[in-house]
Amino acid sequence: MKRSNVIMLIASLLPLGLFFFPLWKITLEAPQYPIPLGMYIHINDFSDVHPHDIKNINLMNHYVGMKYIPEAIPEFKIFPIGIIITTLIGLIIAFKGNHKWFLFWFVLMIVLSSAGLYDFYLWEHDYGHDLDPKAIMKFTNPDGSVMGFQPPLFGSKDILNFRAHSYPRLGALFLGLGIIASFTAYLTGKKNNKKPVTM
Amino acid sequence: MKNILKSTLVLLSVLVAFTSCDNASSKSNSGALSSSAAEKVYVAPGEHDEFYAFISGGFSGQLSVYGLPSGRLFKVIPVFSQDAEKAYGYNEETKPMLNTSHGFVPWDDAHHPDISQTNGVVDGRWVFINGNNTPRIAKIDLSTFETTEIIEVPNSAGNHSSSFVTENSEYVVAGTRFSVPIPQKDMPIKDYKGNFKGSLSFISIDPEHGHMDIKFQLIMPGFDYDLSHPGRGKSHGWFFFTTYNTEEASTLMEVNASQNDKDFIAAVNWKKIEEYVNNGGGTMMPANYAHNVYDEATHSATSTMKKEVRIVNPLDVPGAVYFLPTPKSPHGCDVDPTGEYIVGNGKLSANLTVHSFTKMLNAIENNKVAGDAYGIPILNFEDVLAGVVEQPGLGPLHTEFDGKGNAYTTFFISSEVVKWKLGTWEVVDRQPCYYSVGHLMIPGGNSQKPFGKYVVAMNKITKDRYLPTGPEVTQSAQLYDISGEKMELLLDFPTVGEPHYAAGCPADLVKPRSKKLFKLEDNKHPYATLNEADAKVVRDGKTVHVYMTTIRSHFAPDNIEGIKVGDKVYFHITNLEQDYDVPHGVSMIGANTSELLIMPGQTETFLWEPKQIGVWPFYCTDFCSALHQEMQGYVRVSPANSNTPLKWSLGEDIE
The model's pLDDT over B342-389, given as tens digits with 9 standing for 90+, comes to: 999 998 888 999 999 999 999 999 999 999 999 999 999 999 999 999
Residue B8 pLDDT: 52
Interface contact flag, B578 A63, Cβ < 8 Å: no
Overall fold of domain B522-649 = Immunoglobulin-like (2.60.40)
Q: Which residues contact A114 (CB under 8 A, 6 or more apart)?
A: none
- The pLDDT > 90 percentage for chain B reads 92
Residues of A in contact with B627 (CB under 8 A): 63, 136
Alpha-carbon distance B420 to B415, whole Å? 16
Q: Which residues lie closer than 8 Å to A186 by C-beta, 6 or more apart?
A: A4, A99, A100, A102, A103, A106
Which residues in chain A are closer than 8 Å to B552, comparing Cβ atoms? 59
Contacts of B208 (CB under 8 A, 6+ apart): none
Cα distances (angstroms) measured from residue B376 to each of B23, B142, B185, B200, B327: 59, 40, 25, 15, 18
Select from B166, B157, B168 the least CA-distant residue to B132. Answer: B157
Task: For chain B, give the longest Cα–Cα distance.
Answer: 108
B197-207 b/e (C-beta count within 10 Å ≥ 16 → b): bbbbbbbbbee
Is the CB of residue A48 less than 8 Å away from at least one CB of chain B?
A: no
Tell me the pLDDT band of B35, cut-offs 50, 70 and 90: low
Q: Which of B596, B572, B569 is nearest to B584 (CA)?
A: B596
pLDDT (0 to 100) of residue A195:
61
CA atoms within 13 A on the CB side of A40: 19
The span from the CA of B77 to the CA of B497, in Å, is: 12
- Chain A interface test: which of B580, B584, B624 (most A C-beta within 10 Å): B580
Asked if omega into B435 is within 30° of 0 (cis), the reply is yes
Q: What's the length of chain B? A: 655
What is the complex's ipTM, to 2 decimals?
Answer: 0.85
Name every residue in B having a CB less than 8 A away from some CB of A.
Answer: 551-552, 577-580, 626-627
- Quote the pLDDT of residue A146: 86
Judge: A59–B626 Cβ closer than 8 Å, yes or no: no
Please give the average per-residue pLDDT across B220-247, as a whole number: 97
| A51 vs B contacts (CB less than 8 Å) | 578
> Cα-atom radius of gyration of chain A, to the nearest Å?
21
Nearest to B117 by CA among B77, B68, B163, B177: B163
Chain B: give the shortest CA distance to residue A129, in Å: 22
Provide the terminal-to-terminal Cα distance of chain B, rounded to the nearest Å.
103
**Judged by CB atoms within 8 Å, which residues 110-149 of A form the interface with B?**
136-137
| pLDDT recorded at residue B628 | 94
Exposed, middle or buried by CB within 10 Å (0-12, 13-18, 19+), for B376?
middle
Provide the CA B69 distance to its chain's centre, in angstroms: 20
Task: Give the pLDDT score at A97.
Answer: 85
Residue B4 scores a pLDDT above 90: no
Which residues of B fall within a CB distance of 8 Å from A55? 578-579
Sort out which chain B residues have CB atoms less than 8 A from A56's CB and list them: 578-579
Among B150, B161, B57, B166, which residue's Cα sits nearest to residue B110?
Answer: B57
User: What are the chain B neighbours of A59 within 8 Å (beta carbons)?
Assistant: 551-552, 577, 579
Please name the residue of chain A whose CA is at the shortest distance from the CA of residue B600.
Answer: A52
pLDDT band at B119 (very low <50, low <70, confident <90, very high): very high
Cβ neighbors of A8 (< 8 A, separation 6 or more) are A90, A93, A94, A97, A102, A105, A181, A182, A185, A189
Helix (H, G, I), strand (E, B) or coil at B461: coil
CB B486 within 8 A of CB B33: no
Collect the ranges in chain A with pLDDT lower than 50.
Answer: 198-199
User: Any idea of the CA torsion for A179, A185, A186, A191, to the nearest 10 degrees?
Assistant: 150
Report pTM. 0.91
Confidence of residue B45 (pLDDT cuts 50, 70, 90): very high
Q: Is B20 a residue whose pLDDT tops 50?
A: no
- Beta bridge mates, B242: B265
Count other Cβ atoms within 10 Å, centred on residue B176: 30
Could you give the residue ranges of the DSSP H alpha helices within B163-292?
253-256, 270-278
Q: Which of helix, strand or coil describes residue B194?
A: coil
pLDDT of residue B46 exceeding 90: yes
Task: Pick the residue of B579, B623, B624 with the most A CBs within 10 A to test the interface with A by mutation.
Answer: B579
* Å between B577 CA and nearest CA of chain A: 8
Q: Is any Cβ of chain B less than 8 angstroms from the Cβ of A56?
A: yes
How many other C-beta atoms lie within 10 A of the C-beta of residue A143?
5
DSSP state of A152: P
Sketch the domain layout of chain B as residue ranges.
51-513, 522-649
Q: Is the CB of A136 less than 8 angstroms away from the CB of B627?
A: yes
Domain boundaries, chain A: 3-193
Residue among A52, A136, A137 whose CB faces B579 most closely:
A52
| Minimum mean pLDDT range among B2-6, B30-34, B100-104 | B30-34
pLDDT at B29: 46
CA distance B337 to B586: 48
User: B58 with B110: CB under 8 angstroms?
Assistant: yes
3-class secondary-structure state, position B380: coil
Give the mean model confidence (pLDDT) for residues B192-212: 97
B458 neighbors B55 (Cβ within 8 angstroms) = yes
Compute the average pLDDT of residues B610-629. Answer: 96
Inter-chain CB pairs, A–B, below 8 Å: 16
Would residue B425 be called left, alpha or beta, if left means φ above 0 and alpha means ψ between -120 and 50 degrees? left
Per-residue pLDDT tens digits for B306-322: 999 999 999 999 999 99
Please give the single-letter amino acid code of residue B64: S
Query: Per-residue pLDDT for B18 more than 60?
Result: no
Q: Which residues contact B346 (CB under 8 A, 6 or more apart)?
A: B326, B327, B328, B329, B330, B331, B352, B353, B396
- Read off the pLDDT band of B284 (50, 70, 90): very high
The distance of B548 to chain A (nearest Cα, Å) reads: 18
Nearest CA in chain B to A55: B578
Host H or E run for residue B252: none
Mutate: best of A54, A59, A139, partner B, most B CBs <10 A:
A59
Chain A CA closest to residue B651: A134
**Whole-number Å distance between alpha carbons of B108 and B115:** 20
Interface membership of A51 toward B (CB under 8 Å): yes
Q: Helix %, strand %, coil % for chain A, to 5?
A: 55, 15, 30
Which chain A residues touch B523 with a CB distance below 8 Å?
Answer: none
* Nearest CA among B520, B498, B490 for reference residue B598: B520
> Contact B490/B41 with Cβ under 8 angstroms?
yes
pLDDT at B26: 42
- Check residue B622 and give its pLDDT: 96
- At B397-409, the pLDDT tens digits run 999 999 999 999 9
A162: which residues sit within 8 A by CB, 6+ positions away?
A: A28, A29, A30, A60
Nearest chain A CA: its distance from B440 CA (Å): 36
Residues of chain B with Cβ-Cβ distance to A61 below 8 Å are: none
Torsion of CA B82, B85, B88, B90, to 10 degrees: 80
Sign of CA dihedral B318, B324, B329, B331: negative
Quick check: A52 contacting B, CB < 8 Å? yes
Alpha carbons B222 and B155: distance in angstroms, whole number: 12
B-chain residue closest to A37, CA distance = B579
Q: Quick check: B381 and B325 in contact, CB under 8 A?
A: yes
What does the radius of gyration of chain B's CA atoms come to, in whole angstroms? 29
CB of A3 less than 8 A from some CB of B: no
* DSSP per position, B508-553: HHHGGG--S---GGG---TT---SGGG-EEEEETTEEEEEEEEETT
Note the CATH architecture for domain B51-513.
Answer: 7 Propeller (2.130)
- The residue of chain A nearest to residue B552, with distances taken between CA atoms, is A59
Backbone phi and psi for residue A75, each to the nearest 5 degrees, phi listed first: -55, -30
pLDDT at B7: 55
A contacts of B580 (beta carbons < 8 Å): 35
Of A52, A55, A63, the CB nearest to B626: A63
Lowest mean pLDDT segment, chosen from A97-101, B461-465, B610-614, B633-637: A97-101
On chain A, the residues whose CB falls within 8 A of the CB of B551 are 59
**Residue A31 contacts B, CB cutoff 8 Å:** no
